[in-house]
């Protein structure tokens, strides 16, 4: 069975039972050890571990920034290395137990650095962004758990299309602004810019439903144990995206005051 997600990490073809079996060289005649299957509790535990690693790393660049040190190098370097680890893990999910903690570490350096920058400009903005991200996550989890929101194929298609549209727009705007004096409409603090940020946050939140669904399907299909790290890493990617978008929205709203 194929599962599609707009999360480029979780949508990798290796998040299917056939691909995983091929990657692990599983012979259907072999006896399956169900203690080595992916579980929901295991994925939750891995997500918690990655979150703690990310927060710990974020405190490093945060501390550097507020103690007169240059935190730009670890911030930018962290973003680049984290991206590389995501790409590598997408092609080698069996290495996720090693790559996922590394991703959390370097992504944490990036998050801590940019959070310190925003906090210096608008005191109190970080705690508000963290709170908004946490509330959004809990609300989406509750809606999914109690089947209030059901992840249908149509739902997936709409979210995927919207996410691809956002990614394409951001990419084109970035490229054009590099070579011209063009200012993308999503920058600044205009009502149009704020509206775009709200829309992007909604799409990022909808990603959480797809991520929950993919993890649940992975558990049902009894995928290998390493997929717990893979699923947890994918969920962290969405949460980081959501947090950054909340930071951007709150910055736009604060600058209007």
Torsional sign, CA 202, 208, 211, 216: negative
Whole-structure pTM value: 0.85
Q: How many helices (H) and strands (E) does the chain have?
A: 8, 0
pLDDT at 32: 42
Q: In this predicted structure, what is the pLDDT of residue 170?
A: 86
Distance CA(229)–CA(44), nearest Å, equals: 9
**pLDDT in single tens digits along all 257 residues of the chain:** 433 444 555 554 445 444 445 444 444 434 444 468 999 999 999 999 999 999 999 999 999 999 989 999 999 999 999 999 999 998 999 999 999 999 999 999 999 999 999 999 999 999 999 999 999 999 999 999 999 999 999 999 999 999 999 989 888 988 888 888 777 778 888 899 999 999 999 999 999 999 999 899 999 999 999 999 999 999 999 999 999 999 999 999 988 76
58: closest CA among 71, 43, 45?
71
What is the predicted pLDDT for the residue at 9?
58
Residue 83 confidence (pLDDT): 92
- Of 109, 79, 48, 74, which Cα lies nearest the Cα of 233? 48
> Would you say 12 and 214 are in contact if contact means Cβ atoms under 8 Å apart?
no
């Amino acid at each position: 069975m194929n599962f599609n997600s707009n999360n480029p990490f979780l949508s990798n073809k290796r998040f299917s039972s056939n691909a995983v079996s091929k990657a692990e060289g599983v012979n259907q005649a072999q006896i399956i050890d169900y203690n080595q299957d992916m579980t929901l509790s295991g994925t939750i535990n891995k997500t918690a571990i990655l979150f703690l690693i990310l927060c710990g790393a974020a405190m490093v660049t945060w501390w550097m920034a507020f103690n007169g040190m240059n935190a730009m190098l670890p911030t930018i370097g962290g973003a680049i290395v984290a991206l590389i680890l995501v790409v590598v893990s997408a092609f080698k999910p069996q290495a996720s137990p090693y790559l996922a903690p590394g991703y959390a570490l370097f992504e944490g350096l990036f998050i801590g650095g940019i959070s310190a920058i925003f906090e210096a400009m608008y005191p109190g903005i970080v705690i508000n962004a963290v709170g908004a991200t946490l509330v959004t996550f809990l609300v989406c989890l509750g809606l999914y758990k109690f089947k209030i929101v059901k992840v249908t194929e149509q739902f997936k298609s709409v979210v995927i299309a919207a996410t691809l549209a956002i990614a394409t727009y951001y990419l084109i705007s970035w490229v054009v602004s590099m070579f011209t004096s063009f200012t993308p409409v999503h920058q600044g603090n205009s009502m149009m810019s704020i509206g775009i940020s709200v829309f992007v946050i909604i799409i990022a939140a909808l990603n959480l439903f797809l991520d929950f669904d993919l993890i649940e399907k992975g558990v049902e299909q009894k995928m290998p144990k390493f997929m717990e790290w893979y699923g947890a890493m994918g969920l962290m990617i969405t949460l980081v995206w959501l947090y950054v978008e909340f930071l951007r929205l709150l910055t736009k709203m604060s600058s209007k005051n």
